[in-house]
Amino acid sequence: MTHLEITRRSFIVTTAAAGGGLMIGIAMSGPAQAAAGMMPNPWERATAKEGQEINAWIVVDPDGTTTIRVGQSEMGQGVFTAMPMLVAEELHVDWKMVKVEYADSNRHVRNNNLYQRMSTGGSGAVRNSRVFLQQAGASARERLREAAAVAWSVPRDQVVAKDSVLTAGNRRGTYAEFATRASQVQLAQEPAIKQSGQFSLLGTTLARLDTPLKVNGTATFGFDVKLPGMVYAAVKVVPVRGGKLTSFDFNAIKGRPGIIGAYALKPVGEQPFATRIDEGVAVVADTYYRALTALNLMPVVWDLGPDVAINSREYKARLTEAVKLPGAVGRNDGDTIAAMKTAAKTVEGHYFTGYDSHTCMEPMSCTVSITADRVDVWGGFQNPPGALAVVAEHLGKQPVDVYSHTTFLGGGFGLRSRNHEVRQAAEIARQVGNRPVKMLWTREENERQARGRPAAMSHLKMGLDAQGMPIAFYGRFAGHSAAAQANPTAVANGLDSGTMNGIRDHRYKIANTLIEGHIRNTNQNIQAYRAPGYEHNLWHMEQFMDEVALAGGKDPLQLRIDLTKDLPDWQLVLNTLKQKSGYRRDLPKGEGMGVAIGESFGSIIAMCAKVSVSRRGQLTVEKYDVVVDCGNLVTPAIAAHQMQSGIVYGITDAIYRELTIDKGAVVEGNFDTYPLLKISQMPVVDVHFALAGGDKWGGMGEPATPPAAPALGNAIFAATGKRVRDVIINQADLSWT
């Protein structure tokens, strides 16, 4: 086995190239003027003023400062900039006067889901909120115009609203002057919202409103919440999922400095799977270090439970057996079995990807304060109303008496969407009593309590006709189903189509397709990942498509173009990739380019990776060209950053990351055993937009992750003739002669 030292070829990157194909200048007048668009505590009012609320999303202060409320959580994907842009596009507000704050989840719950959508996931921030956010902006603008029209006795259509100023002839007034009157206006009819082609703000690059807080250390993350009288909790859960806490010896640590108590974490009543906590123990002290040190010194006895025999090797063998058998049918076009018999040639590919964890840079945390009349909870929530509901349920409170306050999130990727850590913190705070408790996970707990990516295996078979074109695709999939784990009865006939995302819903024109799936679960907890299903299945599917092309004597990129002739958006993306990437297959041995494409969360993304591999197997990922069709863009720089982010995430997972399960427990725990990509290994990424426009608004946070890994795998094959199928790339021997 060659140990790979993966490096970036340093001569490629120059200052000019380092911004990729999208070196976007951001207009601003200098750092002193670059005031943040929100408070360091982003759940607080964005300004110190008493403003006038025009509707639930928009508040105008007497000085014209306009606060736009954001229902989604800022985890790096840019919602604190993109979401207010959707409102501002219609409001015709002076962007320099815009501030943002989180929408209040308690008010949302109290007022019948006032903010419509307050969870963040499925790359849906823009896609699923755009219409009502544009509407909020347009409705407020028309009320402002109407208020001025009445005051000036002119028809509303003669009042112009621009940059927070209303004018009609020589009459002039500011939004601030008319905000109170606007809030009382009743319109006979709500205005229509702008469509693609009518935008002036959307599609432009604006400076991120949160950057100033992120370059001086003031942005408050969940880890950073500070409350008067607050104490700190360190936690450890049973190393084997499904195990139990038998006992712990608090006497051994109670004399240590600052120690307040040690508490058993045990199930209380029936808890839904998603938010069920593992059994464990918490130590609480006046500082985190004292709590953690004492926890590590405290003797704890576990009953490891029934699953101590589970290990990765045995589980992989179970999947290998499963894909030999026919499974629950997830897709059935034509008559695949009959067509396969007529094939001139068949190609088969086996692929596997293991369990993985999200590894947000910020480990999980949550702070809870319980008082007689209310409960407050702070953290990096992807679903703040969900956090509120879990706390209310766990503590037996009314939801209206619980307030969840969302911090900045140090990465999310799905990890912070279920609120199991919230229940854990609420349980500790319940036992501690009347002091606020901040619970922090160590890196090791963060990885070992991982509720990340499921393990998955595919056995794919393609029948080709005499011309080498695919005529029959038979795919068998086996893997861990989060849905079945959460609720076995919700998964009918053993079929969880979501686990087969990326294979089952392939878009290639192949007359016959049969996809079957098997569910094989272990004791590992699984939940939303970055592009669930697609993330691992595209590694299987898009590497296999290369195998199919080469077996049929075709160029892999050209075959993808030929098999998607009926899909204009795919044609645009693939042809743009062909043009921009300089994709070629006649490079000298040791160099290679590989392509992959996927459609998920409303966006089509194709990539071309360029690698070099030394004779002894050292891999250098040199370059990625990315072509994205998300229909319309809110703001190009943030979109391009999400493309880079998705690539780093995808190739990090492919190169380094499989959580090993041994004796039922996760082995890896920290960056020494579970690495992330480093700056020295970062390829140059050029992003190209090929937008279909129209009514399409594709997601940005997730869809770049799935195609990144198979493009890399295909490039490695082009360079070396070696196909990495069922191990992480770092364990594959890529040497060649």
Partner 1 sequence: MALTLSVNGRNYTVDVEPETPLLWVLRDNMGLVGTKYGCGIARCGACTVHIDGQVARSCATQAAAAVGKTVTTIEGLSPNSTHPVQVAWTELDVPQCGYCQSGQIMAAAALLAKRPRPTDGDIDAEMELNLCRCGTYQGIRAAIHRAAAIAGGAR
> Quick one: what does residue 490 bind among ligand FES, partner 1, none, with the CB cut-off 5 to 8 Å set by partner type?
none
Binding mask 357-376 for partner 1 (x = CB under 8 A): --xxxxx-------------
Q: CA 662 to CA 455: how far, in whole Å?
A: 14
Quote the least distance from Cβ 668 to ligand FES, whole Å.
16
- For helices 534-551 and 636-656, angle between their N-to-C axes, nearest 10 degrees: 80
Contact between 214 and partner 1 (CB under 8 A)?
A: yes
Quote the least distance from Cβ 75 to ligand FES, whole Å.
8
Residue 251: strand, helix, or coil: helix
Quote the least distance from Cβ 12 to partner 1, whole Å.
8
Place of tokens 């780093």: 648
608 alpha carbon, distance to own chain's centre: 22
Among 93, 179, 182, 219, binds partner 1 (CB under 8 A): 219
Give whichever of 441 and 473 is closer to partner 1, judged by the CB atom.
441
Among 270, 566, 586, 672, binds partner 1 (CB under 8 A): 672
> Quick one: what does residue 120 bind among partner 1, ligand FES, none, with the CB cut-off 5 to 8 Å set by partner type?
none
Quote the least distance from Cβ 150 to ligand FES, whole Å.
48
Contact between 297 and ligand FES (CB under 6 A)?
A: no
Among 671, 693, 694, 721, binds partner 1 (CB under 8 A): 671
Q: CA 420 to CA 276: how far, in whole Å?
A: 6
Residue among 158, 169, 28, 181 at smallest CA distance from 95: 28
DSSP 547: H
> Quick one: what does residue 436 bind among partner 1, ligand FES, none, with the CB cut-off 5 to 8 Å set by partner type?
none
Q: What is the separation, in whole angstroms, between the first and last Cα of the chain?
A: 16
- Tell which positions 392-451 bind ligand FES, by CB under 6 A: 411
Give whichever of 415 and 595 is closer to partner 1, judged by the CB atom.
415
Give whichever of 338 and 361 is closer to ligand FES, judged by the CB atom.
361
> Quick one: what does residue 8 bind among partner 1, ligand FES, none, with the CB cut-off 5 to 8 Å set by partner type?
partner 1
> Quick one: what does residue 628 bind among partner 1, ligand FES, none, with the CB cut-off 5 to 8 Å set by partner type?
none
Quote the least distance from Cβ 131 to ligand FES, whole Å.
30
For the chain, the C-alpha Rg in angstroms (whole number) is 27
Quote the least distance from Cβ 704 to ligand FES, whole Å.
15
Residue among 704, 699, 597, 583 at smallest CA distance from 644: 704
- DSSP percent split of the chain into helix, strand, coil, nearest 5: 35, 25, 45
> Quick one: what does residue 77 bind among ligand FES, partner 1, none, with the CB cut-off 5 to 8 Å set by partner type?
partner 1
Q: Is 676 left (phi over 0), alpha (psi -120 to 50) or beta?
A: beta
Give whichever of 690 and 704 is closer to ligand FES, judged by the CB atom.
704
Residue among 507, 706, 550, 717 at smallest CA distance from 619: 717
Angle at 215 between CA 210 and CA 216, to 5 degrees: 105
Residue 654: strand, helix, or coil: helix
Quote the least distance from Cβ 213 to ligand FES, whole Å.
13
Q: What number of helices (H) and strands (E) belong to the chain? A: 18, 27
DSSP 589: T
> Quick one: what does residue 527 bind among ligand FES, partner 1, none, with the CB cut-off 5 to 8 Å set by partner type?
none
Quote the least distance from Cβ 220 to ligand FES, whole Å.
15
Binding mask 162-191 for ligand FES (x = CB under 6 A): ------------------------------
Quote the least distance from Cβ 83 to partner 1, whole Å.
16
Contact between 213 and partner 1 (CB under 8 A)?
A: yes
- Tell which positions 483-542 bind partner 1, by CB under 8 A: none
Binding mask 70-99 for partner 1 (x = CB under 8 A): ----xxxxx---------------------
Q: CA 624 to CA 595: how far, in whole Å?
A: 10
> Quick one: what does residue 103 bind among partner 1, ligand FES, none, with the CB cut-off 5 to 8 Å set by partner type?
none
Provide the residue type at 590 as one letter.
Answer: G
CA torsion angle for 59, 61, 67, 69 (degrees, to 10)? -30
> Quick one: what does residue 385 bind among partner 1, ligand FES, none, with the CB cut-off 5 to 8 Å set by partner type?
none
Give whichever of 257 and 433 is closer to partner 1, judged by the CB atom.
257
Among 127, 130, 208, 461, binds partner 1 (CB under 8 A): 208
Lookup: tokens for 79: 């919602």
Give whichever of 78 and 552 is closer to ligand FES, judged by the CB atom.
78
Q: CA 730 to CA 347: how far, in whole Å?
A: 26
Q: CA 271 to CA 389: how far, in whole Å?
A: 12
Residue among 476, 477, 479 at smallest CA distance from 456: 479
Among the listed ranges 285-293, 308-316, 318-326, 613-621, the one in contact with partner 1 (CB under 8 A) is 285-293
- Tell which positions 45-74 bind partner 1, by CB under 8 A: 74
Give whichever of 301 and 361 is closer to ligand FES, judged by the CB atom.
361
Among 137, 330, 379, 412, binds partner 1 (CB under 8 A): 412
The tally of CA atoms less than 13 A away on the side-chain side of residue 651 is: 31
Provide the residue type at 569 as one letter.
Answer: D
Contact between 315 and 522 under an 8 Å Cβ cutoff? The reply is yes
> Quick one: what does residue 678 bind among ligand FES, partner 1, none, with the CB cut-off 5 to 8 Å set by partner type?
partner 1
Partnered with residue 85 across adjacent β-strands are none
Quote the least distance from Cβ 18 to partner 1, whole Å.
4
Phi, psi angles (nearest 5°) of residue 216: -125, 10
Residue 434: strand, helix, or coil: coil
Phi, psi angles (nearest 5°) of residue 699: -70, 160
Among 647, 665, 690, 711, binds partner 1 (CB under 8 A): 647
Give whichever of 76 and 212 is closer to ligand FES, judged by the CB atom.
76
Query: H or E element: which one contains 679?
Result: none
Lookup: tokens for 324: 């030999």
What number of chain residues touch partner 1 (CB under 8 A)?
79
Give whichever of 412 and 454 is closer to partner 1, judged by the CB atom.
412
Q: CA 121 to CA 350: how far, in whole Å?
A: 31
Lookup: tokens for 537: 């299945």
Contact between 76 and ligand FES (CB under 6 A)?
A: yes
Phi, psi angles (nearest 5°) of residue 700: -120, -30
Q: CA 333 to CA 30: how far, in whole Å?
A: 59
Residues that bind ligand FES (CB under 6 A): 76, 361, 411
